[in-house]
């Protein structure tokens, strides 16, 4: 066999070995898959220092990418410097022989893939406790076995909870640790899939929290317990207060704000402060949550989350009464009035539908109808503050000039004493506005008053000057 042929065979053999190795890795990939367990102490509200008398929740989070046939998990709680704690039993908890047995310390998270646990684990979830006396160390083992069902795969999810209270006392700060590596009896966490093949989940290491002891009752704080309400133009203030050790310097700081506005804090340095939220227009119609914390050199002693509903007043729009005009003559409406109760709002008024325009400086509506506009015309006006809008409409009946006779206040096609009567009734008795105001403005002074009636009487009975075409500014 030639040297080249032997080299070729050798390369082929190396390739086959590499292929076998890759296939082997792929076949055991479940052991390298996304399977994880995390032990968490929720820190939504500054749990960086544990305080006596407060109940804390310890959470187990599980992620598995295959259906699990069993699990064996656990942890150890210890204190290197003598801190003590008490475990809280649950009404519907799990103990050594399953649900509601022995010390019922474990709660299955409602709505999780493990709720109810008997769906996944026909051999019920069990909790094995070792030396569970609240004196360091305490050990736990969670065990569950499926006969047919198993735990469905899913992303990292809160599955189980336990609750504990730190015992009160005096002295220097101490420490409580949760060691997620120690699992009796052999130190390993374990999943098995539906075929009973082992899966070793990832896990976090030891987590420790300082404990601050003090003399006195459990820590409390003053915080608004009802939703506050303000307009988006008006800042709103409220008081907060935190108990703390006498002599501990404290600073109250903002740690959360879900709105668009900003927060200012008037801190008096003794554990109390006035908090002010300054809203913005984008906060309208929403509820903003503002969180502040009381912080000392020993850590956070508590937080206050206040809910603030931000409102906006709608603009108010008036457009006056319906009117008539005749084509070719300027029609003016000064009766458009827009207002807003919010002092910081700038209003914009315009035409949403219909003819004419509104002067942005004066708010006066102006329109010169044409022959094609004869008939009833609808004008819809809008007023907006940038966040909300009001609309109102009025009508303008454009009359053909064939019927337009100056002085014809009652619009009957003739000028006579009846037109003077219409004007007198309008001026002195509050009767209806003349149908075409410009025709009733007999003396042409751009207003309707008793002078127009006198002008018509002089014209009809004394041969005075004929009526003029009016120039009414409609209101």
Instruction: Give CA–CA dist 304/53, Å, rounded.
Output: 18
Shared domain check, 448 and 340: yes
246: in domain: yes
Residue 62 and residue 153 in contact, taking contact as beta carbons nearer than 8 Å: no
Among the three residues 178, 211, 244, which one is the final residue of a domain in this structure?
211
Examine the domain organization and report whether 237 and 321 are in the same domain.
Answer: no
Q: Identify the CATH number of the domain in which residue 254 sits.
A: 2.60.40.10
Q: Give how many domains the chain has, as a whole number.
A: 3
- What's the N-to-C CA distance of the chain in angstroms? 115
Residue 134 is predicted with a pLDDT of: 58
User: Of 264, 287, 311, which closes a domain?
Assistant: 311
Question: Are 205 and 289 within one domain?
Answer: no
Residue 23 lies in a domain: no
Sheet holding 323-326, edge to edge: 323-326, 389-399, 375-384, 348-353
Q: Domain for residue 22, yes or no?
A: no
Write the DSSP string, 102-117. Answer: SS--BEEPTTSTTSSH
d(CA 294, CA 273): 10
Domain range for 99: 32-211
pLDDT at res. 6: 47
Element spanning 425, H or E:
helix 417-429
Report the side by side order of strands in the sheet with 299-311. 228-231, 299-311, 286-296, 251-257
pLDDT by position in tens, the chain (length 475): 445 544 455 454 444 444 444 444 344 443 344 888 888 887 556 556 777 767 788 888 999 999 998 888 888 888 888 888 888 888 888 887 777 777 788 888 988 988 888 777 876 677 776 666 656 788 877 888 887 788 899 999 999 998 888 876 555 568 888 887 655 445 566 788 878 888 888 877 778 888 876 544 445 578 998 999 999 999 999 999 887 655 567 889 998 999 999 999 999 877 889 999 999 989 999 999 999 988 776 566 678 899 999 999 999 999 988 888 877 778 888 889 999 999 899 999 999 999 999 998 888 999 999 888 989 999 999 999 999 999 999 999 887 765 567 888 887 778 888 888 988 898 888 887 777 777 788 888 888 888 888 998 899 888 888 888 777 655 4
**pLDDT of amino acid 23:** 40
In a shared domain, residues 333 and 347: yes
Q: Are 223 and 240 in contact (CB under 8 A)?
A: yes
225 and 204 in a common domain: no
In a domain, 166, yes or no: yes
Q: What is the pLDDT of residue 7?
A: 47
Indicate whether 13 belongs to any domain: no
Distances (CA, A) of 378 to 316, 351, 365: 20, 11, 13
Q: Which residues pair with 55 in a beta bridge?
A: 165
pLDDT value of residue 217: 46
Final residue belonging to a domain, choices 287, 311, 335: 311
Specify whether 302 is located in the same domain as 331.
no
Examine residue 74 and state whether it is found in any structural domain, yes or no: yes
Q: Is 160 left (phi over 0), alpha (psi -120 to 50) or beta?
A: beta
Q: Do 134 and 229 fall within a single domain?
A: no
**Do residues 101 and 207 both lie within one domain?**
yes
And the tokens for 276? 């002010």
Residue 2 belongs to some domain of the structure = no
- Six-digit token string for 82: 């003598």
- Domain match, 361 and 435 both: yes
Q: Spell out the residues 6+ positions from residue 448 whose beta carbon is closer than 8 angstroms to its own.
A: 423, 426, 427, 434, 437, 440, 441, 472
Residue 19 lies in a domain: no
The CATH number of residue 127's host domain is: 2.60.40.680
SS3 content of the chain, % helix, strand, coil (to 5): 15, 40, 45
> What is the distance between the alpha carbons of residues 415 and 420, in angstroms, rounded to a whole number?
9
Q: Decide if 50 contacts 173 (C-beta within 8 A).
A: no
Same domain, 277 and 157: no
């Amino acid at each position: 066999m030639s040297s080249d042929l032997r080299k070729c065979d050798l390369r082929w053999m190396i390739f086959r070995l590499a292929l076998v190795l890759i296939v082997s890795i792929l076949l055991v990939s479940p052991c390298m898959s996304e399977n994880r367990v995390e032990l968490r102490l929720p820190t939504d509200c500054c749990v960086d220092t544990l305080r006596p008398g407060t109940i804390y929740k310890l959470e187990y989070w599980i992620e598995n990418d295959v259906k699990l046939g069993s699990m064996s998990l656990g942890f150890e709680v210890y204190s290197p410097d003598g801190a003590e704690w008490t475990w809280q039993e649950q009404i519907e908890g799990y103990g050594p022989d399953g649900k509601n047995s022995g010390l019922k310390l474990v709660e299955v998270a409602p709505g999780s893939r493990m709720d109810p646990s008997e769906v996944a684990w026909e051999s019920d979830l069990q909790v094995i406790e070792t030396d569970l006396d609240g004196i360091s160390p305490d050990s736990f083992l969670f065990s569950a076995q499926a006969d047919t069902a198993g735990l469905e795969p899913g992303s990292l999810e809160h599955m189980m909870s336990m609750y504990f209270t730190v015992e009160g006392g005096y002295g220097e700060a101490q420490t409580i640790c949760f060691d997620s590596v120690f699992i009796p009896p052999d130190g390993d966490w374990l999943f098995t899939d539906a075929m009973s093949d082992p899966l070793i989940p990832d896990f976090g290491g030891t987590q420790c929290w300082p404990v601050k002891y003090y003399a006195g009752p459990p820590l409390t704080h003053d915080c608004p317990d009802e939703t506050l309400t303000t307009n988006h133009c008006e800042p709103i203030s409220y008081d907060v207060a935190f108990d703390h050790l006498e002599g501990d310097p404290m600073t109250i700081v903002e740690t959360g704000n879900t709105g668009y506005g900003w927060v200012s804090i008037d801190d008096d340095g003794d554990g109390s402060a006035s908090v002010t939220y300054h809203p913005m227009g984008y906060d309208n119609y929403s509820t903003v949550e503002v969180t502040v914390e009381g912080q000392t050199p020993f850590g956070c002693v508590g937080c206050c989350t206040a809910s603030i509903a931000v409102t906006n007043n709608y603009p108010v729009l008036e457009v006056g009464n319906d009117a008539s005009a005749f084509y070719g003559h300027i029609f003016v409406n000064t009766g458009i009035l827009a207002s807003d109760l919010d002092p910081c709002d700038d209003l914009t008024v315009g035409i949403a539908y219909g003819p004419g325009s509104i002067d942005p400086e004066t708010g006066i509506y102006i329109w010169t109808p044409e022959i094609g506009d004869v008939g009833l015309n609808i004008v819809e006006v809008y007023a907006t503050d940038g966040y909300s809008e009001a609309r109102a409409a009025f009508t303008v009946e454009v009359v053909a000039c064939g019927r337009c006779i100056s002085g014809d206040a009652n619009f009957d096609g003739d000028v006579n004493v009846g037109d003077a009567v219409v004007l007198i009734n309008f001026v002195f008795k509050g009767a209806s506005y003349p149908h075409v105001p410009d025709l009733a403005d007999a003396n042409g002074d751009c207003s309707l008053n008793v002078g127009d009636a006198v002008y018509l009487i002089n014209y009809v009975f004394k041969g005075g000057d004929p009526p003029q075409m009016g120039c009414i500014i409609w209101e």
